[in-house]
Amino acid sequence: MTITIALTEDIATCRKLRRVVFIDEQGVSEADELDEFDPECLHLLAMDGDQPVGTARIKVEGDTAKIGRVCVLREFRGTGLGAALIRKALEVAQGHASRAKLGSQVHAIGFYEALGFEAIGPVYDDAGIDHRDMVRAL
């Protein structure tokens, strides 16, 4: 396994990965997963050789870089790829903002806490899944 993570303009491939994870696996509706923000976001694509295996996007809003649509194909979970995607997103975001924010699925809060994020605010429903906002300084 030789994983590379880089900025990409290949939004179609990112969307294919998101479809597999969010729509097919987690049951999120296509209307909730696809939005109008992709063109204004920075996109990361994780590759294992020539196979796309994970993605995330960064939407800069003022001094905040909102990290979202973070997903890793099932067979690559537990390998450290998700953490590597977040670390790369934080690295990219540092040039654009002073803090990072994300909406974590409740079951993943500990994962993001280990990467320096702090949960804030109440639990809320996003596409039928409980989430909580998390922030960290860059």
The whole-model pTM stands at 0.94
pLDDT digits (tens, 9 = 90+) for 100-133: 999 999 999 999 999 999 999 999 999 889 999 9
CB 56 within 8 A of CB 18: no
Which residue type does 43 have?
H
Q: In whole numbers, what is the pLDDT of the chain averaged over residues?
A: 96
Mean pLDDT of all residues in 93-104: 95
Looking at CATH, the fold of the domain delimited by 3-137 is given as: Aminopeptidase (3.40.630)
In angstroms, the CA 47 to CA 17 distance is 11
